Amino acid sequence: MADLRNDFVGIKSPNPFWLASAPPTDKAYNVERAFKAGWGGVVWKTLGEEGPPVVNVNGPRYGAIWGADRRLLGLNNIELITDRDLYVNLREMKQVKMNWPDRALVASIMVPCEEESWKAILPLVEETGADGIELNFGCPHGMSERGMGAAVGQVPEYIEMVVRWCKQYTRMPVITKLTPNITDIRKPARAAKAGGTDAVSLINTINSIVSVDLDNFAPNPTVGGKGTHGGYCGPAVKPIALNMVAEIARDPETYGLPISGIGGITTWRDAAEFMALGAGNVQVCTAAMTYGFKIVQEMITGLSNWMDAKGHRTLDDIVARAVPNVTDWQYLNLNYIAKARIDQDACIKCGRCHIACEDTSHQAITQFVDGVRHFEVMEDECVGCNLCVNVCPVENCITMVGLEAGTLDQRTGKPVDPTYANWTTHPNNPMARQAAE
């Protein structure tokens, strides 16, 4: 049995599955249920300053994108940080941590960008026995209009400054949660590191308008006739999050900085992918909000069974294993040649590969052979782009087959070159460096 125990910047949990700071972690009632269901840790719903709490809208907070069977693919929200009193939250956190000493409990915090505010709240949090803090520099709506959340996360200097205050005023590990609403995610990550953060977590939600109510001509969710941009999350954002995690994991300046991966994680496989790209653990929100806490059991057994099948014993065996294989486009091997191949026994003759290739790509798939409906790759036209594989509705029906070195590429009429050669040395590249020099 694989060992799923997780040690993230010294915070221990029985498995790497944490609930992200969000409605599922807003109060003791939910968190107790989550721990009973098996979650390894929680990041408590973001705390605000002492005093009257923020208020949420009293109309709809969510919008969504669905598949045909109403499977939720993307969720958008305009919720703010906790709207409960700070001391109520702190009391509950303390009690829950006492009840569940083996689980991770991290406090998420968002207070104004002033030293005094951070200095004031940190000892209060420390007193609860929380294992660490997460700085919410991510919320793209509402709080950012007040100079918090993404408004901080989009300015690397502010990030560095706040992280530094936190490291100064608390002994707790500091996790800096980044906003994806920025052009180059490496910049805020570097700033957090410069401020002394113990880890980064990402992504927070993506600025979005999820849909428009065409009867009322207003964005959804519509509150009294008007809507605003919200934060996008759920399965749809996973590819964006994966890339951002990888960018930080492979950036020489932040290399080795612990990452808590967040964004669209719904299954054990999603989690494994994040970890392979460098996340030391993962956080989940939308999947739990969609299906309830029980899904963690699938995540635990799925990850464990996969690790057993592959011979991975601990999480260290998988974390960051894919990072060395993420590279820049310019270093991809231009001498690697692959051709699509259609398994005629699996082909159901829908013709989608043909029309996709014919209309939008390289005219490399037949529709008829000898007058009979038959879809076959013409190797002399196929550039190996992989579009057909992606539009084919049958799994494994079309595969990409790499040509052995020395075999003839029928498209170019040349044999496949066994050497590795990339764009940096390509004759068409005006900037090409002379390899030999």
Partner 1 sequence: MGTTQSGIHGGRLSPSDYERNFSDLHPRLDDHEALVAADRCYFCHDAPCMTACPTTIDIPMFIRQISTGNPIGSAKTIFDQNILGGMCARVCPTETLCEEACVRNTAEHRPVEIGRLQRYATDVAIAGNHQFYARAERTGKAVAVVGAGPAGLACAHRLAVMGHDVVILEAREKSGGLNEYGIATYKAVDDFAQREVDYVLSVGGIEVKHGVKLGRDFTLADLTANFDAVFLGMGLAGVNGLGVEGEHLPGVVDAVDFIARLRQAKDKAEVPVGRRVVVIGGGMTAIDAAVQAKLLGAEEVTICYRRGKEHMNASPFEQDLAASKGVMIRHWLQPKRVIARDGHVAGIEVEYTELVDGRLAGTGETGVLAADQIFKAIGQTFEASGLGALSITGGRIAVDAEGRTSVPGIWAGGDCVKAGEDLTVTSVAQGRDAAESIHRALAAAVQPAAAVA
Contact with partner 1 (CB under 8 A) among 226, 349, 414, 426 = 349
Q: How far is CA 17 from the centre of its chain?
A: 14
Query: Least CB distance from residue 354 to partner 1, whole Å?
Result: 6
Complete DSSP assignment for 19-70: E-SSGGGSSHHHHHHHHHHT-SEEEEEEE--SSSPP---SS--EEEEE-TT-
Q: Is there a contact between 318 and 307 (Cβ–Cβ < 8 Å)? A: yes
Contact with partner 1 (CB under 8 A) among 348, 369, 421, 432 = 348
Residues ≥6 apart with Cβ < 8 Å to 311: none
Q: Is there a contact between 138 and 244 (Cβ–Cβ < 8 Å)? A: no
Comparing CB distances to partner 1, the nearer of 68 and 309 is 68
- Mark 327-346 with x for binding to partner 1 (rule: CB under 8 A) and - for no binding: -------------------x
Contact with partner 1 (CB under 8 A) among 51, 224, 393, 418 = 393
- Mark 225-254 with x for binding to partner 1 (rule: CB under 8 A) and - for no binding: ------------------------------
Q: Does 376 engage in binding with partner 1 (CB under 8 A)? A: no
Q: Which stretch binds partner 1 (CB under 8 A): 7-15, 68-76, 80-88, 327-335?
A: 68-76
Q: Which stretch binds partner 1 (CB under 8 A): 3-11, 147-155, 288-296, 350-358?
A: 350-358
Contact with partner 1 (CB under 8 A) among 88, 332, 369, 394 = 394
Comparing CB distances to partner 1, the nearer of 185 and 387 is 387
Q: Does 313 engage in binding with partner 1 (CB under 8 A)? A: no
Q: Is there a contact between 21 and 46 (Cβ–Cβ < 8 Å)? A: yes
Residues between 162 and 201 with contacts to partner 1, criterion CB under 8 A: none
Give CA angle at 192 (187, 195), nearest 5°.
Answer: 125
Query: Least CB distance from residue 382 to partner 1, whole Å?
Result: 18
Q: 93-96 long-range contacts, Cβ below 8 Å, gap at least 24?
A: 93/28, 93/44, 93/125, 93/128, 93/129, 93/130, 94/127, 94/128, 94/129, 95/28, 96/28, 96/31, 96/32, 96/35
Residues ≥6 apart with Cβ < 8 Å to 50: 86, 87, 120, 121, 124
Query: Least CB distance from residue 223 to partner 1, whole Å?
Result: 24
Query: Least CB distance from residue 227 to partner 1, whole Å?
Result: 20
| DSSP element (H, E) containing 304 | helix 295-310
| Size, binding site for partner 1 by CB under 8 A | 17
Q: Is 357 a catalytic residue?
A: no
Q: Which stretch binds partner 1 (CB under 8 A): 13-21, 131-139, 181-189, 347-355?
A: 347-355
Among candidates 278, 277, 268, which has minimal Cα distance to 300? Answer: 268
Quick one: DSSP state of residue 317? G
Q: Does 350 engage in binding with partner 1 (CB under 8 A)? A: yes
In angstroms, the Cα distances linking 387 to 236, 349, 364, 392, 412 are: 20, 17, 11, 9, 20
Query: Least CB distance from residue 219 to partner 1, whole Å?
Result: 19
Contact with partner 1 (CB under 8 A) among 51, 52, 67, 430 = 67
Residues between 351 and 370 with contacts to partner 1, criterion CB under 8 A: 351-352, 354-355, 367
Contact with partner 1 (CB under 8 A) among 55, 68, 372, 435 = 68
Query: Least CB distance from residue 313 to partner 1, whole Å?
Result: 38
Q: Is there a contact between 298 and 39 (Cβ–Cβ < 8 Å)? A: no
d(CA 199, CA 254): 10
Q: Which stretch binds partner 1 (CB under 8 A): 22-30, 62-70, 303-311, 327-335?
A: 62-70
d(CA 64, CA 279): 27
Q: Of 113, 139, 353, 357, which is the active-site residue?
A: 139
- Residues marked active site are found at 139
The site for partner 1 (CB under 8 A) is made up of: 67-70, 346-352, 354-355, 367, 373, 393-394
